[in-house]
Amino acid sequence: MHAFAPLHTAASVAATVVTWLAGTLAPLTGGAATAAAIVLFTVGVRLLISPLSLAQVRGERRRAALAPEVRKLQQRHADDPARLQSELFALYRRAGANPVAGCLPALLQAPFFLVMYRLFATGDGGPTLLDERLAGVPLGWHLGDGLSTSVVAVFGVLLAALLALAWWSARRARRAAAATGTVAGTPTDGPGAAVLGRLLPLLPYTTVLVALVVPLAAVLYLVTTTGWTALEQAVLRRPRAESIDVR
């Protein structure tokens, strides 16, 4: 039990924040106040980590700019993988392009998602939050708990939104790879790039699979954070980004 104490504490803090937001929004949103509070809470989380998202895009651009040099190193040290890795590491270090930095935004979102899941799936947020509803469906409800007209309607709309966002993100990833010759800043002809190029466009669809097994509140979190990611991609990765300093 002690191993989960930090998560329980975080869920209690999140419950306090969501409850306060719901009370503030209630005059405007009525019965959907808690659902609106979850959306606002999610936006706040994404705003907190937005500097890392910007750093991720800058890192990808740096690695994309290094693609010609990477290809030369791959050709020069094709028979010496250890030397190739050493030279690539030195190249990225000199350019300030960290290949691992792109994972940070996704990794930092994981704890918030766990908190949201625990908040509404285990009752850490208290029975009040579990009983709050969106269009008649409790926020702690899972699809496996049973289907009704309202459940199908609410989950159907949210799952459709996730599918649309996943399709858009996958399509954008393929176009970006074709236009730049890189996958997440890595040359498409590099080692493992073919596999990476096939897997990355499929990753957005994992959110749809997750949404099938988590409570409604967590699905709201997924839709909001996925929509925010799509907005970031449209703004930060737009073709004309000269105004953004990537140095």
pLDDT confidence band for 159 (50 / 70 / 90):
very high
Residue 125 tokens read as 């947020």
Which range among 8-17, 43-52, 186-195, 230-239 shows the weakest confidence by mean pLDDT? 186-195
Handedness of CA 179, 183, 185, 189 (dihedral sign): negative
In the predicted structure, residue 126 carries a pLDDT above the cut 70: no
The pLDDT mean for the chain works out to 76
How confident is the model over 161-169, as a mean pLDDT?
A: 91
How confident is the model over 36-57, as a mean pLDDT?
A: 83
How confident is the model over 19-37, as a mean pLDDT?
A: 89
Decide: 97 and 185 in contact? Cβ < 8 Å. Answer: yes
Q: Which amino acid is it at 92?
A: Y
How confident is the model over 62-78, as a mean pLDDT?
A: 74
In the predicted structure, residue 172 carries a pLDDT above the cut 60: yes
Q: Give the pLDDT of residue 179.
A: 55
Q: Give the pLDDT of residue 146.
A: 85
CA distance 30 to 150: 18
The model carries a pTM of 0.72
How confident is the model over 8-18, as a mean pLDDT?
A: 82
Q: Give the pLDDT of residue 75.
A: 76
How confident is the model over 104-110, as a mean pLDDT?
A: 67
Q: Cβ contacts of residue 192 below 8 Å, gap of 6+?
A: none
Q: What is the pLDDT of residues 77-103, one digit of tens each?
A: 777 777 777 777 777 777 666 655 556
Q: Give the pLDDT of residue 133.
A: 87
According to DSSP, the residues that pair with 138 across neighbouring strands are 133
**Sequence ranges of the domains in the chain:** 2-236
Packing angle between helix 216-236 and helix 33-65, nearest 10 degrees?
Answer: 40
In the predicted structure, residue 58 carries a pLDDT above the cut 50: yes
